[in-house]
Chains A and B, each alone.
Chain A
Amino acid sequence: MKPQDTLHFSYQALRAYPGRTALILLAMCIGVAAIILLTSLGEGARLYVIGQFQGLGSNLLIVLPGRSETTGGAPPLIGTTPRDLTLDDALALQRSPAIKEVAPIILGAAPVAYESREREVTIMGSTPSLLSARQLELASGQSLPDSNPRVATAVCLLGETVWKELFANRNALGEWVRIGGSRFRVIGVLAGKGQSLGSDMSDMVVIPVASARNLFNAPSLFRIIVTAESQGQLAQATQDIERITRQRHDGENDITIIAQDSLIGTFDNILSALTWALGGIAAISLLVAGILIMNVMLVAVSQRKAEIGLLKALGAPTAQVLRLFLTEATLLASAGGAIGLLLGLGGVLLLNQAVPDFSAQPPLWALIAAVVITFLTGLLFGSIPARQAARLDPVAALSGR
């Protein structure tokens, strides 16, 4: 039998049973689309989180008050309540040669008003180092004064959203805004940076750290952002931070230092594993589709026993009958795979349009795996009933036995 005749015969057989064919195609393309969509989601989540971390800048260390034991352990005993981090603690860190910049941070919320407009926003008290450490840029004006950070000055930088809301895109430089109960002069506007680790940097006002201390009447820092001189100095910087802080805190090691790199690495690993797991779940769904295909093919074989018997009575060799059924399975697999691929990629496109911040994309391995698994399941689960069909004796098959 010529290959094109085999193909044509199988194609006609598939068209003769549209319900069965549609069912198998549906199962296949759901399986393939599921693999693509789920792995895209996983991969998108990974890229999103890594992007968020990289938005923080590299060489970054974050110092938090309190010791958080990631390995569990007993709850802190009485008397070991961690000390607050103070501005002096932060400024002391500048002694370390491994440390390039130190940005102490006080965080609070307060209404910001200009003329008749008012908006409740996050207020971040810090030093000029904040801008370079978090890779923030000025759209206009100048940064915070580089003078003694212990001195409060009544100046502020507006985030892009705050500026647009309060000034309706008009010039803000030199204008006075009211933050809480005090007046601050606008000396700069930040360029839009968008989301960074969950905090919307554009809906925020930055003021000198000493001013924030006065405004919120709170001497303690929310955290300290430290940049090392280089990536290679991160370990040295970490050691120095611990040593200096312990000296200042009566020998207590009561801070937590988070290195951005290790965080990224951890999240990367977790999220890669998640993507694989999602891919695995989807692969199982394709396997289920394969079993469905086998069932439907088995039914098809018994429905078409007389036809198989006839083919054998006309002198079709066993291998030819096998080939006919495998061709059917392959046709189903390619059509189901192709439709599933289109559906999956279309779904990813829709998803990306619906959630602009999220760029889901299927990893290459998932695409290849989806196609390979489709063909394997199609052939494997198609060949079992095909084998059964081809083994039948012509009389037995003809009489439907």
Chain B
Amino acid sequence: MTDPFITLRDICRHFQVGDETVHALDHVSLDIHAGDYISVMGPSGSGKSTLLNALGLLDQTNAGSYRLEGRELTTLPEEQRAQVRREKIGFIFQSFHLIPRLSAADNVALPLVLTGMPAAVRKTKVQQALAGLGLQDRADHRPAQLSGGQQQRVAIARATIMQAPLLLADEPTGNLDSHSSAEVIRILEALNAQGITLIVVTHDTDIGKRARRQVRMVDGKVVADEH
């Protein structure tokens, strides 16, 4: 058997709120293989977002080991964490997090701009990505001129433009109607079919059940892990 794409061992994350310590992640251990499709569910406050932020290197952890492609990430300095985020991880947020003053195309191009790719090369890549998501007519629109579903598709284009192997989505349909939700899920599953490792946090059991592997969290612990 090949080494897992991701191994989490006894990851802990706690927050000090007043004199109380909240254990948002309490010794979480998971093996995730390349090409997996995982949903994370659980009650509110169970640590789903905290887990995804730890996987996306958006947040620190307090203890445990996180290895991605065999490389230990918890001890990396910030510069190299930024590089891993840039090259290995795409992140999709519930509230899209597009930059309001930039056009859809410029939002999608942002990760490429950060790597220093020349503008001409960027342009064709962005056009292809937008076209792939049915947004070719919306390239010059600002986020405020787009529907929620369209904004989330722009965000997906941005998260995948670097062709990172890992795609993390924290309630990607939380702000969308059922039609747009279905559309977004269809796109994410298509990406997974092409080989990307997909982890989706969701409250929607219908969506959660679609994943090949379903992780359930309660009080910072993984209580069920169904393959």
Render B92-134 as a binary contact track against A, CB cut-off 8 A, 1 for contact.
0100010111100000001101111011000000000000000
Render A1-26 as a binary contact track against B, CB cut-off 8 A, 1 for contact.
11001000100110110000000000
Q: How far is the CA of A311 from the CA of B97 in the complex (A)?
A: 10
User: Which chain B residue lies CB-closest to A4?
Assistant: B119
Say yes or no: B85 contacts A313, CB within 8 Å: yes
Say yes or no: B118 contacts A16, CB within 8 Å: no
Within 8 A of A (CB), among B111-164: 111, 113-116, 118-119, 158
B83 within 8 A of A: yes
A168 within 8 A of B: no
Known: A310-B97, A316-B114. 11 other contacts (CB 8 A): A2-B118, A309-B97, A313-B56, A315-B84, A315-B111, A316-B82, A317-B79, A317-B82, A318-B79, A319-B79, A395-B53
How distant is B216 from chain A, measured CB to nearest CB, in Å? 23
Closest 7 CB pairs between A and B? A315-B86, A16-B101, A315-B85, A394-B58, A317-B82, A395-B59, A395-B58
Once A312-B82, A315-B85 are accepted as A-B contacts, the answer to whether A13 and B113 lie under 8 Å apart by CB is: no
How distant is A322 from chain B, measured CB to nearest CB, in Å? 12
Q: How far is the CA of A306 from the CA of B97 in the complex (A)?
A: 8
B78 within 8 A of A: yes
How distant is A177 from chain B, measured CB to nearest CB, in Å? 80
Residues in A neighbouring B44, C-beta threshold 8 A:
none
How distant is B109 from chain A, measured CB to nearest CB, in Å? 9
B62 within 8 A of A: no
How distant is A47 from chain B, measured CB to nearest CB, in Å? 50
* Pairs A–B under 8 Å by Cβ, sample size 8: A2-B118, A309-B97, A313-B97, A314-B85, A315-B84, A315-B111, A317-B78, A393-B60
Within 8 A of A (CB), among B158-188: 158
User: Which chain B residue lies CB-closest to A390?
Assistant: B78
User: Which chain A residue lies CB-closest to B78?
Assistant: A318
Task: State which of A310, A314, A315, A394 has its C-beta within 8 Å of the C-beta of B59.
Answer: A394
Contact surface of A with B, Cβ cutoff 8 Å: 1-2, 5, 9, 12-13, 15-16, 306-307, 309-320, 393-395, 398
Q: How far is the CA of A320 from the CA of B82 in the complex (A)?
A: 11
Residues in B neighbouring A15, C-beta threshold 8 A:
101
B87 within 8 A of A: yes
Say yes or no: A320 contacts B114, CB within 8 Å: yes
Residues in A neighbouring B116, C-beta threshold 8 A:
1-2, 5
Number of residue pairs across A and B with beta carbons under 8 Å?
A: 73
Say yes or no: A311 contacts B58, CB within 8 Å: no
How distant is A316 from chain B, measured CB to nearest CB, in Å? 5
Q: How far is the CA of A389 from the CA of B100 in the complex (A)?
A: 19
Residues in A neighbouring B56, C-beta threshold 8 A:
313
Residues in B neighbouring A310, C-beta threshold 8 A:
97, 99
Say yes or no: B111 contacts A12, CB within 8 Å: no
How distant is B18 from chain A, measured CB to nearest CB, in Å? 16
Task: State which of B100, B110, B118 has its C-beta within 8 Å of the C-beta of A314.
Answer: B110
How distant is A304 from chain B, measured CB to nearest CB, in Å? 9
Say yes or no: B101 contacts A13, CB within 8 Å: yes
How distant is B104 from chain A, measured CB to nearest CB, in Å? 15
Residues in A neighbouring B111, C-beta threshold 8 A:
314-315
User: Which chain B residue lies CB-closest to A394?
Assistant: B58
B91 within 8 A of A: yes
Q: How far is the CA of A174 from the CA of B173 in the complex (A)?
A: 109
Say yes or no: A314 contacts B58, CB within 8 Å: no
Q: How far is the CA of A315 from the CA of B83 in the complex (A)?
A: 6
User: Which chain A residue lies CB-closest to B98?
Assistant: A310
Say yes or no: B113 contacts A318, CB within 8 Å: no
Residues in B neighbouring A1, C-beta threshold 8 A:
113-116
Once A1-B114, A320-B114 are accepted as A-B contacts, the answer to whether A315 and B58 lie under 8 Å apart by CB is: no
Residues in A neighbouring B110, C-beta threshold 8 A:
311, 314
Residues in B neighbouring A318, C-beta threshold 8 A:
78-79, 82
User: Which chain B residue lies CB-closest to A304?
Assistant: B99
How distant is B204 from chain A, measured CB to nearest CB, in Å? 22
